[in-house]
Homo-oligomer: A and B are copies of this chain.
Amino acid sequence: MRNVIVTGVARADLGVVDQLAELGVATVHEAIGRAGYLGPGLRPIQDGARTGGTAVTALCWPGDNLMIHAAVEQCRAGDLLVVTATSPCTDGMFGELLATSLAARGVRGLVIEAGVRDVAELRAMGFPVWSAAVSAQGTVKETAGSVNVPVSIGGQIVRPGDAIVADDDGVVCVPRADAGQALAAARARVAKEEQSRKALADGQLGLDLYGLRDKLAARGVEYVDAAQAMHMDVTT
């Protein structure tokens, strides 16, 4: 495998990405067929941030953030930097100085399957971060890696230029080519959910709203009274 920095990457339409971001991670994930979620291992270091951007990816050696520095140069306004390592790593590969540099370029935030540090400063700056760990452990700048190659996080593939949405629920990746279709589907879902929300708030049951009573019966789920249940084997 060669180590490369890929330049001139095509990005998802930023206008579309921004609208996806407004709809949030869970909605977008559902809209593209329950796909693209980068997993519960990536948590926000701040509460209440919701952002979106186009992916610039960096693949680093554990304990080494050399390639993040190389990635910064490839970032432009509207991007969101997505970093992972060639093996599991919790070190604080990213901190306030790198965030200063990215913010100066109009980068929307950071998603990193490793650690970050200076979290108090990052929160104060308003630079949003989703990471696998918080750690002050510093890193070296010695070993080659790649920028803007496909990377894999949480069982999902992130390609440079893909649309990334991140909020309190985590991070979702929408393939670049699918962003427009994802937006249409997500809006349709929001409209439908609005109706469901009203019905449920009025006391209607999901069992009826989603037609689940027949499913329960078809799968042999029985209703029994508590008094009967005492004489049955209903324990876990």
Contacts and interface: CB of A to CB of B under 8 A. Distances in A.
Nearest to A50: B120
B90 A155 contact: no
B61 A223 contact: no
Contacts of A145: 221
A227 B8 contact: yes
Interface string A220-236: 11111111010011111
Interface in A158-181: 160, 167-170, 172, 175, 177-178
A1 B185 CA distance: 11
Interface string A82-97: 0010111111100111
A39 to B, nearest CB: 7
Contacts of A135: 37, 39-40, 87, 169-170
Interface string A1-43: 1111111111000000000000011100110111111011001
Interface in A113-142: 113, 115, 117-120, 123, 133-138, 140-142
A138 B29 contact: yes
B37 A137 contact: yes
Contacts of A86: 34-35, 63, 137, 155
